[in-house]
Amino acid sequence: MKMFFNCCVSLFFLCPVVQSQGLIIKGRLRCLNQNQNSTKGAENIIVVPTFMPSRATVTASRPSGYFEFNTGVPLSKLQDKMVTIYVVSRCTNCKEVAKRVFISEDQDRQNRNDTKHYVTVKDWMLNTNCQRAELYPLAADSIMRLIIKQPEQNLDNVSSATAIVGAPAFLNFLTTLTTVAGATFPSPAFTIQTLQPGNINYGQFLLASPLMHSANTGFNFSPSRDMSEAVFWNPSAIANSKGTVNISLLTNVKNNGKLGGFFRINEKISLGGGAIYTMQDEFRPAVFKSNNITRNPDTVTMKLKEYAAFISPAYKINDKLSVGLTLKSIWQDFNNPDSLFVDNSGIGTFYDIKIKKQHFDADISATYKVTNAFQVGLNLMNLAGTELYADAFVRKQANIPVQNLRSLGLGFVYKWQRLNVGADLLFTEDAFYDASFGVNYVPFNNALLSAGLAVKQLSYSFAFRIKHFRIAYINDNNWLVNEKRKGKADILNGKIYGGFIFDLN
């Protein structure tokens, strides 16, 4: 009987202790690391229960972003209520700073000690770069000292149906504090001063493509035997095509491709269309500066995409002369390095500005058969004078280089039985751009061997076509720059091309 009485007394005194154990809220706060697809734990960010500021904590480094605080309030008092947890960081425009958590008994995980009650906050992430969100340790300590001095919300006056969001005055205090934290404790920001010379050729893809990136080198401005690129460089020639329908593709899969085709509407009129796509990338030195501090040159990643779409009608005036018109849309898309943020450990994050341009333009072309063996073609290209950027540039740069695409292409073809010899010359508004010479030969039925050379660029090509399919080796002498994904062998760096040509009657 005495033992029973002692147990009852012990249980009587123990129950309040168990019931008084505070609810522990824990979780992990994340932020963006290097890009949208990479995240990490957000360190040195203050997590505040709005109803109990004195219990605020700072996210840890190991494990990164982890937080845990004891509310000091029994689970029974917060049961079936919505509480608000707030974070204070340097991000002044983040919408994810507040998290509303529903407290219920089924969320409790009593793993090690049944006198403690845990609720885990899941899927909490700041949608901003970690460098722009994390506080410096000293700043976090200073702000924490301000927060824990704020008054707590009186939970005795909260009804069972009321969400616990914190006192209005304290919420205003937190909002102001976030703004101050963002302005007072910035990360070391370096703005770009200069871009050192790079290798990417900006704004010239429509000038280089017919001369250096073709399996029909030397025959593009006066196409005759091979019409695979006629819709791009001289659509007037398609009016003389032996086939009524053509579909052609040439690509190295890596960073260059052309898809085109045409069909004959009647004896006089034909209509063609197609698209060209190029991509370049490189690692380029750049100099960043902050106030009076100039960093040693950093290496930034540069990317350039240029592409165009064509619609090309052609009209056959007579057996000797045909004319063509090309309507096109031209795009240029690349990045300009803008700033560099460096954290306490010396890790830097680069930020870019995206540059996008789009222009409409037009060509006028003609093909004239001087004799059955000799043909001349010309193409007045980009008559509207489309200008693309000729290089990347830094913010507030005074003189930004541009490339005007207005140009004249001349082509000559001499035919002698199985052998054709061709020459293409290209002139821009400024000067002679380049010339290419080519030969093609029919070794047997449904086959074509071709080779060509561009004089100034010293690029060359070899191609073999068997019926509808073609393979080519095109060496542009490193005109298309591709440094990010280099193959182990030079021949694999975008020099092998493949595709098809369907000429249908």
pLDDT at 180: 52
Amino acid at 317: I
**Residues 198 and 142 grouped into a single domain:** no
Average pLDDT over residues 438-454: 97
**Residues 165 and 136 grouped into a single domain:** yes
Note if the bond before 151 is cis, omega within 30 degrees.
Answer: no
- Asked if residue 452 has pLDDT above 90, the reply is yes
**Residues 173 and 263 grouped into a single domain:** no
Cα distances (angstroms) measured from residue 69 to each of 25, 41, 57, 84, 99: 6, 17, 7, 14, 15
Share of the chain above pLDDT 70, in %: 86
pLDDT at 107: 67
Could you give the number of structural domains in the chain? 2
Radius of gyration of the chain (CA): 35
**Least confident stretch, 17-26, 70-79, 112-121, 258-267:** 17-26
Residue identified by tokens 């059955």 is: 372
Rounded Cα distance between 184 and 480, Å, is 46
Average pLDDT over residues 398-424: 97
Domain-ending residue, one of 165, 187, 209 = 187
**Domain range enclosing 49:** 19-187
- Asked if residue 12 has pLDDT above 50, the reply is no
Helix (H) or strand (E) holding 139: helix 137-147
In this structure, is residue 408 part of a structural domain?
yes
Rounded Cα distance between 466 and 449, Å, is 9
pLDDT at 148: 86
**Residues 409 and 476 grouped into a single domain:** yes
Cβ contacts of 24 within 8 Å, gap of 6 or more: 68, 69, 70, 71, 116, 117, 118, 119
pLDDT one-digit tens code per residue, 220-241: 999 999 999 999 999 999 999 9
Neighbouring C-beta atoms of residue 443, cutoff 10 Å:
9
Domain-ending residue, one of 187, 211, 243 = 187
pLDDT one-digit tens code per residue, 360-378: 999 999 999 999 999 999 9
**Residues 485 and 499 grouped into a single domain:** yes
Q: Which residue has the higher pLDDT, 293 or 181?
A: 293
Domain-ending residue, one of 164, 187, 210 = 187
Q: Are residues 492 and 485 in contact, defined by beta-carbon separation less than 8 angstroms?
A: no
**Residues 82 and 114 grouped into a single domain:** yes
pLDDT one-digit tens code per residue, 273-284: 999 999 999 999
**Residues 290 and 327 grouped into a single domain:** yes
Backbone angles phi and psi of 258, in degrees to 5: -135, 130
- CATH number of the domain within which 132 lies: 2.60.40.10
Band of the pLDDT at 16, cuts 50, 70, 90? very low
- Asked if residue 345 has pLDDT above 60, the reply is no
pLDDT at 424: 98
pLDDT one-digit tens code per residue, 189-227: 788 999 999 999 999 999 999 999 999 999 999 999 999
Burial of 371 (0-12, 13-18, 19+ CB in 10 A): exposed
pLDDT one-digit tens code per residue, 33-57: 766 677 888 888 899 988 888 888 9
